[in-house]
């Protein structure tokens, strides 16, 4: 379960940034998680809840926005959203693609008091 390791890294960043901003409590952390990432949000939230106890992020909610899989066709230069894991350019039918997004795990913002 790599979500625990991800939660540990996430908590470290949240606590550091919260302290820099003068927060005494973090109430919410908004994330952007790529559709291709292997993160299971429920497992990440559970892990985060457990390890955040006793920190300024105790009780904080993780809110996730799912980033779609976006690709760039290296032949016709079209940028497009990949649907149903169909990694073929909808314009020229080529499979020579570069991934633009879909694997990310980013903190969008941290809210607190």
Q: Count Cβ atoms within 10 A of the Cβ of residue 36 and give its class: 0-12 exposed, 13-18 middle, 19 or more buried.
A: middle
**Strand 105-112, strand 97-101: pairing:** unpaired
Q: What is the pTM of this model?
A: 0.85
- What are the structural domains of the chain? 3-15+24-112 (3.30.2320.80)
Burial class of residue 49 in the structure, from the number of CB atoms within 10 Å of its CB (0-12 exposed, 13-18 middle, 19+ buried): middle
Q: For residue 67, what are the CA distances in angstroms to 31, 36, 55, 102?
A: 10, 9, 29, 6
Contact 30, 109 (CB under 8 A): yes
Segment 8-57, tens digit of pLDDT: 999 999 999 999 999 999 999 999 999 999 899 999 999 999 999 999 99
d(CA 25, CA 23): 6
Q: Which residues are CB-neighbours of 77 under 8 A, at least 6 positions away?
A: none
* Parallel, antiparallel or unpaired: strands 26-34 and 61-67: parallel
The pLDDT assigned to 1 comes to 56
User: pLDDT, tens digit, for every residue of 47-97?
Assistant: 999 999 999 999 999 999 999 999 999 999 999 999 999 999 999 999 999
């Amino acid at each position: 379960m790599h979500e625990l390791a991800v939660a540990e890294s996430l908590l470290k960043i949240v606590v550091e940034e919260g302290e820099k901003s003068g927060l005494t409590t973090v109430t919410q952390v908004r994330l952007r998680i790529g559709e291709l990432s292997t993160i299971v949000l429920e497992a990440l939230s559970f892990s985060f809840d457990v390890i955040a106890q006793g920190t300024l992020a105790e009780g904080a909610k993780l809110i996730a926005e799912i980033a779609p899989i976006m690709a760039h066709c290296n032949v016709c230069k079209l940028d497009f959203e990949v649907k149903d894991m169909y990694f073929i350019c909808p314009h020229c039918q080529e499979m020579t693609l570069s991934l633009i997004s879909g694997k990310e795990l980013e903190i969008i913002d941290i809210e607190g008091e």
